[in-house]
Amino acid sequence: MKTQSLIDMLAKGAGPAPRAPVLQRMAPAVALGLLGSALFALMSMGAIPAAMYETPAPWMKLGYGASLALAAGWSTARLSRPVARTQWPLRAVLIVFATMLALGALTLVISAPDQRMAALLGETWLTCPRNVVVLSLPALAGALWAVRGLAPTQLRAAGFNAGLMAGALGAMGYALVCPEVSATFVAVWYSLGILLTGLLGAFLGPRLLRW
């Protein structure tokens, strides 16, 4: 086929360009990822007692997860276009991480010296990052599917940011079943789980996101 024939074919009946394709693919991935993570967490681990929702602990985790999912979702959306303007979204991601780390450090500093190890390790530090990663997998699959249908050109960065977003959504699901209360715990172990999901995304990006 001559290139001119291809151009004629592409132009004929082309209609207007699709509107907001990035949002159209990302939104269902986020919704299904969050739902999958929450359902899987509740079914496999059992919800925290309702009384805990009167304390700040679950809200802090949900707030952290939601802000990070928003910031990383923003950067992932930008990286899903051939020319990515990522300066502001990446700053937003860093600000969310830095805020949580500052909060965790502050909590550690103001707690009594004999409470510090408890604040840092809680009772579940060994399983928390792993649980966050596992609960992120539905969102990671959804996010990679969404980005794969778009036009990323920095595949590793796109995969990493998609992984961070999925990790944050997985952390939100885990918040529904996690008994820990300290901000230090969340700042360290939740963040570690989220970063591991990000690294998994960065590993998969160049393999899965080609178009």
Partner 1 sequence: MPLETGPNDFEASLKPLWMRAQQGDEVAYREALEKIASRIRGFLRWRMQSMPDEIEDLVQETLLALHLQRGTFDPGLPVSAWVMAIARHKLVDLWRRRGRRENLHDALDDVDESRMAAEPVEECAQRDLDRLLRELPDVQRQAIVLTKIEGLSVAEASMRTGISESAIKVQVHRGLKRLAQWVKDTGS
Name the one range near partner 1 by CB under 8 A: 51-59, 74-82, 114-122, 126-134. 74-82
Phi, psi of 122 (to 5 degrees): 55, -145
Using the rule CB under 8 A, is 51 a contact of partner 1?
no
- Helices 155-175 and 21-45 cross at an angle (nearest 10°) of 40
Q: Does 88 bind partner 1 (CB under 8 A)?
A: no
- What distance in Å separates the CA atoms of residue 100 and residue 183, rounded to the nearest whole number? 8
Closest CB 81 distance from partner 1, rounded Å: 5
Among 39, 52, 53, 81, binds partner 1 (CB under 8 A): 81
The one-letter amino acid at 118:
A
Comparison of 85 and 130: residue with beta carbon closer to partner 1: 85
Q: What is the 3-state secondary structure (H, E, C) of 149-193?
A: CCCCCCHHHHHHHHHHHHHHHHHHHHHCCCCCCCHHHHHHHHHHH
Q: By CB under 8 A, what part of segment 127-156 binds partner 1?
A: 150-151, 153
- To partner 1, the closest distance from the beta carbon of 106 in angstroms equals 39
The binder of partner 1 chosen from 46, 83, 104, 128 (CB under 8 A): 83
CA–CA distance, 42 with 93 (Å, rounded to integer): 28
Q: Which is nearer to partner 1, 7 or 106 (CB)?
A: 7
CA–CA separation, 188 and 200 (whole Å): 18
Q: Which is nearer to partner 1, 8 or 123 (CB)?
A: 8
Q: Which is nearer to partner 1, 1 or 51 (CB)?
A: 1
Contact 92, 176 (CB under 8 A): no
User: For residues 153 and 84, is the Cβ–Cβ distance under 8 A?
Assistant: yes
Residues that bind partner 1 (CB under 8 A): 1-4, 6-22, 80-83, 85, 150-151, 153, 210-211
